[in-house]
Amino acid sequence: MTTCCARRGLGAVLAGGALLLTGLVQAEDSTQDAIAEYRAMFGDDNPAELWQARGEVLWRAPRGPKKVSLQACDLGLGAGVIDGAYAQLPRWFDDTGQVQDLESRLVSCVTTLQGIPREQFLKVKFGDGDQQSDLEALTAYVVAASRGKPIVLPLRHPAEQAAYALGKAVFRYRAGPHDFACATCHADAGKRIRLQELPQLTTAAGAREAYTHWPAYRISQGELRTMEWRLQDCFRQQRLPQLKFGSEVAIGLTMFLAKTAEGGTLAAPGIKR
């Protein structure tokens, strides 16, 4: 059973094939340059702004049976502080007794402060066409307030350390009909699927490249997609069972990626293929 990842033949040494390989590598380099030009042409004009704007309205609006806004929501830096909050998530929260990522923390605030039932709020978790997701909008808004900030994750609390350890273990855990783990595609340098270069998520550089640009407007979806969506979709592509939203595994993997990317500067919401 072959994996869908291919290794670039940079290290191959074949007398007759050396020139051919050089040609291939050059072709690949120019392809990556062309893709870089495609991405650059989007500039700063990211449709994610549309979600950010909607998220701000949702944050400020008095909603739910309790008719309050989310301005008392504590994302770890105090009630209502969103500036830099995403850069310090996931983290332990005393009031819920859990390590939470941004998305599960938003759910806590929406259910506790506004009284909106969890099932109702998460009915449209990930938007599609006319169905808008409030979660995506709120996530985009809060994440944008950490743009330019470095990721800071001291992991002082034992539960935070445990979440990191779980994520690290799951990253390497092979399962499913293809015996895939995240590590199958993301633990080595120089891997790609078709023309997509795969980031090596086990190094700081690779983790930063990926993590600092999520959530992102996904052009192929025409929607803003969050980190929980990204992880769920990876699980789907590996033919693993569906990753539960806000589960210990989802939060653990996020913690592992974020911690590995620590020190990197957030550029999210980004724009992706």
Partner 1 sequence: MSDPMRIRAVVKGEKVEVKILIAHAMETGQRKDAEGTVVPARYITKISASCNGREVLAADWGPSVSKNPYLSFRFKGGAKGDKLKITWTDTAGDSRSDEVSIA
Partner 2 sequence: MFPGRRRLLIQLGRTGLAALTLASGLVPRLARAVEARPAFTAAGITDALKALGIANPAQSEAIHFRAPDIAENGAAVPVEVESALPGTREILLLVEKNPHVMSASFSFPDGTDAYVATRVKVAESSLIHAVIRTDAGAFYNAKLVKVTLGGCGG
Decide whether 156 or 194 has the Cβ nearer to partner 2.
194
Per CB under 8 A, 189 contacts partner 2: no
Among 11, 15, 37, 45, which residue sits at the site for partner 1 (rule: CB under 8 A)?
A: 45
Report if residue 50 touches partner 1, rule: CB under 8 A.
yes
Among 37, 95, 119, 130, binds partner 1 (CB under 8 A): 130
The catalytically annotated residue of 4, 73, 109, 234 is 234
Q: Which listed range, 28-36, 48-56, 101-109, 262-270, lies at the site for partner 2 (CB under 8 A)?
A: 28-36
Long-range contact pairs involving 53-61 (C-beta distance under 8 Å, separation at least 24)? 53/141, 54/132, 54/137, 54/140, 54/141, 55/137, 55/138, 55/139, 55/140, 55/141, 55/142, 56/141, 58/134, 58/137, 58/138, 58/141, 59/138, 59/141, 59/142
Q: Taking CB under 8 A as the rule, does residue 273 contact partner 2?
A: yes
Angstrom distance (rounded) from CA 63 to CA 131: 19
Rounded to whole angstroms, the Cα distance separating 32 from 148 reads 26
237 binds, among partner 2, partner 1, none (CB under 5 to 8 A by kind): partner 2
Which string of DSSP letters, residue by residue, matches 171-209?
HH--BTTTTB-HHHHHSSTTEEETTEEPP-TTSHHHHHH
Q: Binding to partner 2 by residue 7, rule CB under 8 A? A: no
Query: Is 5 annotated as catalytic?
Result: no
Cβ contact 106:100 at 8 Å: no
Residue ranges that bind partner 1, judged by CB under 8 A: 45-47, 49-50, 53-54, 128-130, 217, 222
Point out the residues that are catalytic. 234
Q: Which residues bind partner 2 (CB under 8 A)?
A: 4, 31, 34-35, 37-39, 41-42, 185, 192-196, 198, 218-222, 233, 237, 273
